[in-house]
Amino acid sequence: MKAEIRIVIADDHAIFRHGLRHVLEKERGLKVVAEASDGESALERIREILPDVALLDIDMPVRDGFSIARSVRDARLPVEIVFLTMHRDELHLNEALGLGIKGYVVKDGAVIEVVSCIRAVLAGQSYISPSLSTHLLERARRASALTQERPALAQLSPTERRVLALLAGYRTSKEIAAQLGVSVRTIENHRANICNKLELHGSHALVKFAIQHQSELA
């Protein structure tokens, strides 16, 4: 892990931002390099500075945290995203995990948990607030049930699995091809192979399946 971890904090509540900064900078090796009070300025700071970690609130003016995370992902910026949020529901957590986010901390535990979360995601691990463990167990239960219902899912290659997850996010073949750095024809071949393995028939069956099972496929 780096000797100094550079952090951007984005939250529209100044008191929370400043308090969090104070906590983080008491920790050895953590340095807050910028703050932002809205989503657009947060994305600008991230693009300019390329911090190691961006701590984002989900609900912010101009652009929300999900929008920022998508832009960071699509641009392939080498920045880990951690959401700090009041949202404890499964819907928001599933959307975050579907974006590939590895850090999700509820604000009432942020001061205690955020340092552990930062160090975990930079070590390639995931950190979800323990208070959300019920949601994670439910996701795992549904994923297991889906695998039993569709055992052919185990036959999908890692790339096919990735394509399926991106289809669940309403991505077109062109957009998926650009993100994965391959041709549109290659993506169309992957789609055809997935349909054959899962025995999905019809022009919209694959996309419908992906969207219906988005949280289990993330």
pLDDT digits (tens, 9 = 90+) for 159-174: 888 888 888 878 889 9
Helix axes 184-198, 173-180, angle to 10 degrees: 110
* 149-153, 158-162, 184-188: the lowest-pLDDT one: 149-153
Question: Token digits for 106?
Answer: 């509820």
- By DSSP bridging, strand 5-10 and strand 127-128 are unpaired
Q: Which is more confidently placed, 212 or 53?
A: 53
The overall longest dimension of the chain from CA atoms, in Å, is 58
pLDDT in tens, 119-141: 999 999 989 887 776 665 555 56
Taking 90 as the threshold, does the pLDDT of residue 188 lie above it?
Answer: yes
pLDDT score at 148: 67
- Confidence bin at 189 (pLDDT 50/70/90): very high
- Confidence bin at 152 (pLDDT 50/70/90): confident
pLDDT in tens, 11-63: 999 998 998 999 898 898 999 999 999 999 999 999 999 999 999 999 899 99
Taking 70 as the threshold, does the pLDDT of residue 198 lie above it?
Answer: yes
Which residue matches tokens 């999900």? 66
- Confidence bin at 97 (pLDDT 50/70/90): confident
Is the Cβ–Cβ distance between 164 and 174 less than 8 Å?
Answer: no
Distance CA 124, CA 101 (A): 11
- Confidence bin at 212 (pLDDT 50/70/90): confident
Taking 80 as the threshold, does the pLDDT of residue 217 lie above it?
Answer: no
Taking 80 as the threshold, does the pLDDT of residue 72 lie above it?
Answer: yes
Name the helix (H) or strand (E) containing 190.
helix 184-198
> CA quadruple 14, 80, 141, 196: dihedral positive or negative?
positive
Distance CA 125, CA 45 (A): 25
Question: Token digits for 56?
Answer: 């984002």
Query: Of how many residues is the chain composed?
Result: 218
Tell me the domains of the chain and their CATH numbers.
5-134 (3.40.50.2300), 141-217 (1.10.10.10)
- Cα angle 92, 66, 56 (rounded to 5 degrees) comes to 95
Q: Which of 90, 91, 88, 85 is nearest to 65 (CA)?
A: 85
Rounded to a whole number of angstroms, the distance between the first and last alpha carbons of the chain is: 27
* 1-15, 107-121, 136-150, 162-176: the lowest-pLDDT one: 136-150
pLDDT score at 143: 59
Taking 80 as the threshold, does the pLDDT of residue 151 lie above it?
Answer: no
